[in-house]
Amino acid sequence: MGAAGGGCGAEPPSGAHVFSSECTACHTLSGHESGHVLGGDLARRRMSVAEVESFVRVMPVRQRLSEDQIHAVSRYVAAAQARLAP
């Protein structure tokens, strides 16, 4: 189980919480590119949930994410991208 929860009997993980705890060292969802963030801003990209999932599975994180965490953060990022679309 990853640092953001999601084990047996636990509430489903929050995609926002997983992103905040596991992804923000390298990525943002602000809609503005920043030179200080290694992986860049994800808000201006357009990916399906499945595409985001494929990237999440290979991203370096402190602890391996559970399937529930992967699904939650993928839905969160794809929804943020759709919401911030020009």
* Residues 43, 79: Cα–Cα separation, whole Å: 9
pTM: 0.80
Encode pLDDT of 8-26 as tens digits. 567 889 999 999 999 998 8
Residue 64 within a domain: yes
Residue 73 within a domain: yes
Residue 9 within a domain: no
Task: Please say if the pLDDT value at position 7 is more than 60.
Answer: no
Residue numbers of the domain that contains 68: 15-83
Strands (E), the chain: 27-28, 40-41
Domain count, the chain: 1
Residue 5 within a domain: no
CATH of the domain at 44: 1.10.760
Structure tokens at 70: 């992967």
Residue 7 within a domain: no
